[in-house]
Structure 1
Amino acid sequence: MVNYSKQVMNLGNLLLELLSQALGLKPDHLKDMDCGRGLLMLCHYYPGCPEPELALGTSKHADNDFFTVLLQDHIGGLQVLHEDKWINVPCSPGALVINMGDLLHVNPLSLPTLYFP
């Protein structure tokens, strides 16, 4: 768990560098503002439900941070609110989903698209 936590923190710092560059700033801009000091790792596990039609999911919420890194599994269930409609995020086991939080909300037309090979 200690090694995993270090790797997650390294990923968080790399994402801060990439976001800085995407915003047209120097790579260390967000780190120099101490945005990395607030990095933390939270783990939630939602096991599969034998009767999902009877289950209630997490309530509607916004992530009040810079970003959230989600590791997808085979169960899925992640949804995003787009134009007042809930859309299922396709499940890709082992994929990392980077969710932009409230602190990064900018005009989406002014933010270049990031491609990660």
Structure 2
Amino acid sequence: MPVHLVFCSCPDPETAQRLATALVDARLAACVSVLPAMRSVYRWQGAVEQADEVLLLAKTPGTQLPALVEALRSQHPYELPEIVAVEAAAGLPAYLDWVADATRE
């Protein structure tokens, strides 16, 4: 079963922690790493903006990806949250199995 890495930027540590905990509690992600102190530069509504943000890196099997994306979208405070998923090309088989096991009911 493919495992996906899902990137999601958050406005502050509290939001990041809340979302990370919600995803793991709901078994939508086996693990969510919270990476602090990132600065994003982006174009929004015609202007170049900058923001200090916190990055989430969620690990989830492909079967949970649609529900995880929807949970992030619905609970995120941004009007248009960054939610980008990348399929892992390879990994330690035991870890990939754990991701699948940790997200089962």
Note whether the superposition's TM-score is higher than 0.5.
Answer: no
Structure 1 length normalisation: TM-score? 0.25
- Of structures 1 and 2, the larger Rg is shown by 1
**Greater relative contact order (CA < 8 Å, ≥ 6 in sequence):** 2
| Structure number having the greater strand percentage | 2
Structure 2 length normalisation: TM-score? 0.27
